[in-house]
Structure 1
Amino acid sequence: MKNSKLLPSALALALMSSFASHAGIAIVDNEQGRFAIGGDVEFDFDYRDKKGNPNQTPEAGPNDNSYGQGGRVLIDFDGLRTLDNGNYLRVNVELLAETTGNAGIDNAFFAFGGQDSWMVKAGRYEAFDMFPKGMDVFLETTGNTSDEQYNDGEGYFYQMKEGRGRGDAAGQIMYGHQLNNFYIEVSTLIGDRASFFGTESTHGTPTATASQRYYHGQEISADKDSFIVRPVISYKVGDFTLSAAMEANLVSDALVTVAGDVSNRTGYGLTANYDANGVNANLSYAYLDALNEKDQSIGATVTWNNIGLGYFWTENKIEASSSTTLNAGTAAGQTLNAAYEFADVMTVEDFSVFLGAYHSNWDDKDKVLNNTFEKDSGARVRLKYFF
């Protein structure tokens, strides 16, 4: 029987640190490998103040002030086996129990690879983050984000995440390779992507049913599964890391409207990171080329000790087309957020109280969007404990 040992490569160290950060109690730890159970508890107390869009009817639009409480318990099951030759296998499942009574799964993947070289991961996971948010204790926008859903007509905050994974992904597989200071990753997302688009059009479809999905006011037909490829290359020198990536659907006409191929969406991203002397800073750029729409975003975050700050800017450029109900023009959105962590509360290690706040607004002078809300602000108190 071969004994297990630590993996010295950067890829393997990332694997081991991820394992250690989630695995709290080792149930089995022997020559066969290590199986552990851990997790965290997270509860939020929120206040949100949303201001109506004056372009909506009635004039000045609706206002919404609300208090809320939510949270979840995450249970992490993690198994890792390493061999003397540096090969390893890992299985990870993260179960979620929410205060709403719903249950779900975060990660569920199987990974294997070799020391100082390669890794294959399959299942449900998040690939390389090309638009880091820093300490995002509370960060919402008045429109959509690319890691959730595209609701027709609302402002879209593209973040190079349409092919990153989890969400409504039907299947994922990834290959990663560490080569000296370079890390190369190619992740794929395979399956029906129709659910990425919302079922309610904001451009006047009173006869719409719950199963109908829209893009620029036109109903979407989904006849094929999508195959999204997301290659990333990252280079680290000293305290700096520079990464570049793209994501594109390789299947033509997977999602179509009378205007054309909605699934023909190609995104590009750059991100730079500095991590030293207690400072972790990120600067990111993302650009999306979609049907009759061009979107771009910039993100800047910094975390210093227990303080986090972030600024995000996005622009939607809607192009004129005879087959769309959107006006041609440009709309821009901005978001600011801040956070602070009180660590080791009551001298209990891994128990923190976070304070977070944000403000988001859209400038839609060309009236190309139909956001219900123009401004959105909020504040949060979060209780979090790792076990």
Structure 2
Amino acid sequence: MTFTFKSNATRHTLTLVPVAAALALAGPALAQTNDTSLSFDANVEIDTDVLGGKQRTTNYDMGGRLEFNLFGEHRVGDHFVRGRGTALLLEDGDTATDDMWGMVGSERWDVQIGRFEGFDLFPKGKDTILEHAGDVQVFEANGARGRADEGGQFAAHFHPTDALSFELGTIFAEGDKTKAFTGVRPAVFYAGSGFSVTAGLEHVKFDAEDEETGVIGEAVDHNGAGLNLALDVAEARVNLNAAYKDDNLDNDVDDVLTLGANVIYGPFGVGYIHSREDDSSDSDPHVNSLYAAYTVPFFALENANVTFAATSSYTNSAGGNDELHGGRVRFFYAF
């Protein structure tokens, strides 16, 4: 039996020789189940931010988290059982859980349950800091992607070929006392030579509840779609994104269209997002946001770096024109 302890810098494998020898003597029936691994890694991020804009007070802040990841897998023939947990110690003193899921299946199919994220239909690239001015909605087809504050998720995956994958994600959580959060999100991923395509649909419906007061707030009911085209251009990675939401409720916003493009080239990344609401007026509210980041090594250490990032956003919304600018310095170390 092999236990693997790893960090981003090294990977440590401990083989229990007496146990392995005993299983070998036990015969083939036991030997075929002897494929268990356990891995652990951790990292720390510390952010120093400045954020301000038109008619805004400039704010300075510090945040970050210490992340612990534990992953285990046991294989029997062509099938496996996997589990992953991610614990976060936050800079403000709170604790949180990022991933916490179990999975069972094979290389061609699997079922996943717990807390996790599904296929990314709107990848933003190197979005170290990204802020949107005003109150215009930005839709990324992630309402049912996962990691709900309360409730849970189920997802089924099917991989007919090495290049093609299907995902059917569902999510649920407590809304009011008679209705539950419901989300359904089918998606497909295809990887070709120098490109990949990810596309999906989602339906989300729930009654929002304030976590502190327990008061039922505004209902949410929409259909959405997302599409990502990723291209390898020379040594750069280019993402082209589009997402559309059709609001099923009778309110001021009929639908939202969000477009995005970003490029990652080595340690540098830059991106742009445009989102527009259709509110049946002559001038639909919209927001334009830019962001960029550049990463440099920290004292030539292999697993430590510093990222300098900036964001700038402009909007015309029902509340008037607005702008927002910000910067971030992020220290990162993996151990």
TM-score of the superposed pair, with normalisation by structure 2: 0.83
Structure having the higher strand fraction is 2
Pairing partner for 1:316 from 273, 277, 280: 277
Report the equivalent of 2:74. Answer: 81
Structure 1 CA distance for aligned equivalents of residues 140 and 155 of structure 2: 20
Pairing partner for 2:241 from 284, 302, 310: 284
Structure 2 CA distance for aligned equivalents of residues 306 and 315 of structure 1: 31
Structure 1 CA distance for aligned equivalents of residues 194 and 282 of structure 2: 44
Report the equivalent of 2:45. Answer: 42
- Residues 232, 244 of structure 1: 8 Å contact kept: yes
- CA separation of 1:224/1:328 partners in 2, compared to 1, >3 Å: closer, same or farther? farther
Structure 2 CA distance for aligned equivalents of residues 65 and 32 of structure 1: 55
- Residues 258, 275 of structure 2: 8 Å contact kept: yes
Q: Is 1:135–2:126 an aligned residue pair?
A: yes
Q: Is 1:351–2:304 an aligned residue pair?
A: yes
Instruction: Give the letter aligned to residue 112 of structure 2.
Output: K
Report the equivalent of 1:214. Answer: none
- Residues 23, 38 of structure 1: 8 Å contact kept: no
Structure 1 CA distance for aligned equivalents of residues 9 and 202 of structure 2: 32
Provide Cα deviations, 1:203-244, integer angstroms capped at 9, x if missing partner: xxxxxxxxxxxxxxxxxx774002210000122211111121
Runs (5+) with no aligned partner, structure 2 = 17-33, 209-217
Q: How far apart are 1:262 and its partner, in Å?
A: 3.9
Alignment of 1:151-190 (within 5 A): 154-180=135-161, 181-190=163-172
Structure 2 CA distance for aligned equivalents of residues 26 and 112 of structure 1: 26
- CA separation of 1:112/1:20 partners in 2, compared to 1, >3 Å: closer, same or farther? farther
Structure 1 CA distance for aligned equivalents of residues 96 and 333 of structure 2: 20
Instruction: Give the letter aligned to residue 40 of structure 1.
Output: N
SS at match of 2:284: strand
Structure 2 CA distance for aligned equivalents of residues 76 and 131 of structure 1: 25
Report the equivalent of 1:264. Answer: 221
Structure 1 CA distance for aligned equivalents of residues 237 and 177 of structure 2: 42
State, as a whole percentage, how many aligned pairs show the same letter: 26
Q: How far apart are 1:78 and its partner, in Å?
A: 1.2
Structure 2 CA distance for aligned equivalents of residues 360 and 20 of structure 1: 40
SS at match of 2:221: coil
Provide Cα deviations, 1:307-327, integer angstroms capped at 9, x if missing partner: 1010000011224xxxxxxx8
TM-score of the superposed pair, with normalisation by structure 1: 0.72
Instruction: Give the letter aligned to residue 68 of structure 2.
Output: I
- Residues 35, 80 of structure 1: 8 Å contact kept: yes
Report the equivalent of 1:68. Answer: 61
Pairing partner for 1:247 from 199, 202, 205: 202
Pairing partner for 2:102 from 88, 106, 110: 110
- CA separation of 1:27/1:170 partners in 2, compared to 1, >3 Å: closer, same or farther? farther
Pairing partner for 2:180 from 207, 225, 232: 225
Alignment of 1:192-211 (within 5 A): 192=174, 194=175
Report the equivalent of 1:331. Answer: 285
SS at match of 1:64: coil
Report the equivalent of 1:12. Answer: none
Instruction: Give the letter aligned to residue 235 of structure 1.
Output: Y
- CA separation of 1:121/1:46 partners in 2, compared to 1, >3 Å: closer, same or farther? same
RMSD: 2.6
Q: How far apart are 1:276 and its partner, in Å?
A: 6.0
Provide Cα deviations, 1:253-305, integer angstroms capped at 9, x if missing partner: x439xxxx944310011110113643111000000001232111001010001
Structure 1, 375-384 or 160-169: larger mean CA deviation: 160-169
Q: How far apart are 1:89 and its partner, in Å?
A: 1.4
Report the equivalent of 2:260. Answer: 299
SS at match of 1:384: strand
- Residues 27, 35 of structure 1: 8 Å contact kept: no
> What stretches of structure 1 move > 2 A for 4+ residues in a row?
19-32, 261-264, 275-278
Instruction: Give the letter aligned to residue 190 of structure 1.
Output: F
Q: How far apart are 1:25 and its partner, in Å?
A: 5.7
Provide Cα deviations, 1:83-103, integer angstroms capped at 9, x if missing partner: 3x2211111111100110011
- Count of matched residue positions in the alignment of Structure 1 and Structure 2: 302
SS at match of 1:267: strand
SS at match of 1:51: coil
- Residues 25, 38 of structure 1: 8 Å contact kept: no
Runs (5+) with no aligned partner, structure 1 = 5-18, 53-62, 144-153, 195-220, 320-326
Structure 2 CA distance for aligned equivalents of residues 69 and 264 of structure 1: 35
Instruction: Give the letter aligned to residue 34 of structure 1.
Output: S
Structure 1 CA distance for aligned equivalents of residues 13 and 64 of structure 2: 27
Q: How far apart are 1:32 and its partner, in Å?
A: 4.5
